[in-house]
Structure formats: C-alpha cells, structure tokens
Structure 1
Amino acid sequence: MSAAATPQWLDDDEMRFWRSFILTATLLESRLNRELVEGHGISHSDYSILVVLSEAPDHQMRMSALADFIASSKSRLSHQVARMEKAGLVERQECDSDGRGVLAVMLPKGRELLERAAPTHVAGVRDHVISRLSADEQRSFADALERVLQGLSGSDEVAEAS
C-alpha cells in the first residue's frame, strides 16, 4: 500500500477478531511461559528450541535452519543458545560437512529437562486452548492459521508463481 492510499479500515467484526487474536496470542504465550518457568525453570522459547532439536535427526540442527524454524533472528537465537549452553542444555558444534556451518545439539541434560517439562506444557495447551474448542473448531482454526502462515512465510508467492 502506498503512503498516499486511503487505508481500508477494519469494520467492527474485523476489529473484534483482530484484537481478540492479538490479545489471546500474547496472553497464551505469557501463561505458557510462566507455567514452564515456575514449574521447571525454563522459558517457553527455550522449551521450543528443545522440542525442535528433540525432533531433529541426531537431536541437532543447523543454527540458521533452527532460527528459521522458530521464527527468530540468527542474532537472537545465538544469544539464546549461548544461555542454554551455559545451563548445559545444548552445545554448538561445527558442521562436519561444511566448515562454515554451526549446529545446535541437544545434550542429555536438555533432553531430561524437556521430558520433565513436556507434561506441564501439554497440560497448559490442553487447558487453555484445546479443551475450549470443538474438534471442528480446531480444524477450522488450524486451516485459517495455516493460510495466514503461508502468506507470512512467502509460501503463497511460490504457489502463485507455479
């Protein structure tokens, strides 16, 4: 949209949706973070990194791919992983196949913490979200969010170019 264009203001229903979405996302992130910090001394963002690494082959992933996967800047991820290294949860290693690449590798202490924290996280997700929506609502909401995610990640442009 150019600076001279007249904005297409949100109508009442669109504004209700938008504000509910933003406030819900913010409060949910805060609540899940608080539950993990209080219960296990780990932030939700650190927990998310451990989850991704736990699902990766050999519990490791290139730092650049990890940053993309969790929607973080490389700089922010580097600081976060440095803190997690000090806690003994992960370590950085040079990539054997590429001298320039750096891997984030989950350590046994990170795996143990993830296993202890996962039930707390799943209970929070279930209590705060899943239990409040029917299966049909969950599918519809997932479909809608996936369309938004495709647009934000540039997947729409790839599909349109095909």
Structure 2
Amino acid sequence: MSELALACDLSLSGMTRLVTRLEAGGLVERVQCAEDARGYKAVLTDAGLARLEEAYPSHLAGIRRHIVDHVDPAALPVLTQTMERIGVPAAEIIRSNARS
C-alpha cells in the first residue's frame, strides 16, 4: 500500500481510504503481502480490469484532447521522452508487484 500511495502521490491513509472504496465496489481486493505479513497489496479483480479496459479509450482521448493536441508536432518526441521518464517509477512498481 505504501508503494502504491507513493506512486500515486497520496498519503498512506488517503490510499487506504481509496482502496477501501474500490474494494467495496468489487474493483480491487486486498491480498496479504508474502514478504511482510503485516502488509497488504491491492490487487485488481476481474471486474476492476473490465472497468479499466472500459475507461481506457475515453481516458486516452482526454489526454490527446487536453495535452497532445496542443503540442507542436516537432515537440512530440520531447513530450514522449518526458512522459516516459515520469511513467518509469510507477511502471517499475507495477512490474515488481506483478512478479511477487
């Protein structure tokens, strides 16, 4: 939970409240950490994955409309590099959690 809170720039208590709401909606479930029996991981359920897949097209369209469409085409490689640097920490956390 603390890694997820850090990746999302939320306090641990804020992340816990968010996960509680997502869990109540059947979108995630808490799974006890194998490495630390005191901790839990938030794991996407099948319903959560379906919701994510449903939201993806409109989310992507919103990013295009609010950001990409306002960038000069010549500057898109710089934007791409910047976004990749921003996304690396979150992607690394997701990959490391998927392996455990």
Q: Report the TM-score, using the length of structure 1 for normalisation.
A: 0.47
Distance 1:110 1:119 in 2: 15
What does residue 18 of structure 2 align with? 80
- The residue type paired with residue 122 of structure 1 is L
4+ residue runs over 3 A deviation: 138-147
Q: Residue 93 of structure 1 aligns to a residue in which SS?
A: strand
Aligned with 2:32 (options 87, 94, 98)? 94
1:137 and 2:75 are equivalent in the alignment: yes
1:124 and 2:35 are equivalent in the alignment: no
Which blocks of at least 5 consecutive residues in structure 1 are unaligned? 1-62, 150-162
Distance 2:22 2:35 in 1: 24
Aligned with 2:44 (options 97, 102, 106)? 106
How many residues of Structure 1 are paired with residues of Structure 2 in the alignment? Answer: 86
- The residue type paired with residue 111 of structure 1 is L
- Cα deviation 1:107-149 (Å, max 9, x = unaligned): 00000001111000001111121122123323445667899x7
Q: Which has the larger radius of gyration?
A: 1
**The 10-residue stretch of structure 1 (127-136 or 117-126) with the greater mean CA deviation from structure 2:** 127-136
- The residue type paired with residue 66 of structure 2 is H
Distance change >3 Å, CA 116–CA 143, structure 1 → 2 = closer
Distance 2:17 2:38 in 1: 18
Compute the RMSD of aligned alpha carbons. Answer: 2.3
Q: Report the TM-score, using the length of structure 2 for normalisation.
A: 0.73
> Structure 1 vs Structure 2: percent identity of aligned residues?
37
Distance 1:101 1:136 in 2: 46
